[in-house]
Amino acid sequence: MAVAWQQQIFALDARYNAHRAPNHANFRTLYIRRRSQLLRENRNLSPEHLKSYLKIRGQLLQKRYGSPLDQPSIGHSRSMSLRSVSGDFGDARLNIQNTGTVSGLVPTKQADASRAIVGGNSIAENYAFTGVHHIFDQHKSSVVMVKFANNDRSRLLCASSDGTLSICEVAVEKPYLAAVLRGHTQPVTGCDWSASNDLVASCSQDGSVRLWDSKNGTCLRSIQDKLLCPLQCCLFQPTNCNLVITGNNKGELRIINVSTGRAPLGGYCRVGGSVLSIGCDINGQLWWVGTNKGEIISITCDITGRLRKVRKFQIAGNNCLITSISWRAWISREARDPSLLVNCSNNKLALFRVMDKEGNLQLKWSFNNKQSDNNMIRSTFCPIMSFRQGACVVTGSDDGQVYFVDIERPPNRAIVTVLQGHANASFGLSFNYDESLLATSDKEGLVIIWRRAS
């Protein structure tokens, strides 16, 4: 309980931090770091003392800066449910109905094996956090994406609108900045690790995709988009790190051979609109593309890199942005349906079941999330899901909070944990593979590393 109150205090300071020395961003970052350090040093204070401190400090800050205090109390932080969506979700022609709850997608209450393995812990206990492990502030603008290396506890990749990327070592006593990748001339919009983590791919609004050596940060190759269009997203082909798939703002999807700088025969597909997000299955044979027209398009990719458009789903209105797509083969031990997690700018987070090899989707569950057209909010599945009851996903939001959501529960009771520390919209988020650390980023350029309770 004391940890929860400490998080409330940190969140309070984060909300007011933009009012402190508005022309000195470095001071604001140092201040919030010091506040985090003080809270860690005083972790033995009782919840009663922390509650009283939070109340008094809130009053003083409100009096000093004159800004409205919109800080929920710990007593009802979990009840701040994102209201469930009712009725149809998307184009009625697709007959995609919102069921409100997941049916047959998560383990039953009688899943004794899962319960025994986790020692009877509730899902809230599994996702209890002890506070802030570290704060990085090397970027001068918003950090739009963060990604831990594959099967790695420590290396974190950050992509920023300031045109740079950075690699941080975080699972050490004193986290540090390992490398800064410079070369893009405009905001970086996407990044990815190769399967072996020796390479990093990035794309930018300057229309280039770059390949980097992750050990020394040198740029190995830069490839310009054929139409010189801004690139919005990129991913390595999971089974062939020599191929990178990119999407531009002209609605074109293209596979690039990074060794030759060329697209293989048939490695091009036009989907319309602006390609904002990409997700794929573990073999890289089935891809889903999200656009700024509220559409998700399923695409197949054969072993030669040939792309073929298969299905189109109108998920929301024509002006809705599909900002994030995550795929998972199965969500729990007892439910092995492949699933797709999607963020939409019409304030929705949706979970779809993948029905077949053509990528047909069935909406299983959704609820309202705070997301506007101006912010590229992302979400992800929690990496360890096979040995416990419940199935958790994590999403950022416009209000700066990071929501842990159990998709087994009804939408009005789905929020398990809320991390409060960002004063601006929270964009990127990523777990390391053993869930000991969670990285989140925001519109101001801060990257917060959260430590999960062991």
Q: Which domain holds residue 9?
A: 1-75
Query: Is 46 domain-assigned?
Result: yes
pLDDT in tens, 59-72: 788 777 765 444 33
Range among 26-30, 103-107, 259-263, 433-437 with highest mean pLDDT value:
433-437
Q: At what angle do helices 2-16 and 47-65 cross, to 10 degrees?
A: 10
pLDDT in tens, 442-453: 999 999 999 988
Cβ contacts of 128 within 8 Å, gap of 6 or more: 3, 417, 452, 453
Number of domains in the chain: 1
Query: Is 59 domain-assigned?
Result: yes
The predicted model gives 370-378 an average pLDDT of 89
Q: How many CB atoms lie within 10 A of CB 150?
A: 15
pLDDT of 312 over the 80 cut: yes
Q: Do the Cβ atoms of 205 and 231 come closer than 8 Å?
A: yes
Query: Is 408 domain-assigned?
Result: no
Query: Is 56 domain-assigned?
Result: yes
Query: Is 66 domain-assigned?
Result: yes
Query: Is 255 domain-assigned?
Result: no
Query: Is 91 domain-assigned?
Result: no
Q: According to the model, what pLDDT value does residue 387 have?
A: 56
Q: Which of 158-162, 334-338, 381-385 has the lowest mean pLDDT?
A: 334-338
Query: Is 208 domain-assigned?
Result: no
More confident residue, 305 or 163: 163
Q: According to the model, what pLDDT value does residue 406 have?
A: 87
CB neighbour class for 419 (10 Å; exposed up to 12, middle 13-18, buried from 19): buried
pLDDT in tens, 8-60: 777 777 777 767 777 776 677 777 777 777 777 776 778 777 788 888 888 78
Q: How many CB atoms lie within 10 A of CB 323?
A: 25
Q: According to the model, what pLDDT value does residue 143 have?
A: 97
Q: According to the model, what pLDDT value does residue 156 have?
A: 97
pTM above 0.95, yes or no: no
Q: Do the Cβ atoms of 29 and 446 come closer than 8 Å?
A: yes
In Å, how far are 28, 219, 232, 237, 273 from 207, measured between CA atoms?
33, 16, 9, 20, 17
pLDDT of 314 over the 90 cut: yes
pLDDT in tens, 241-274: 889 999 999 999 999 998 888 888 889 999 989 9
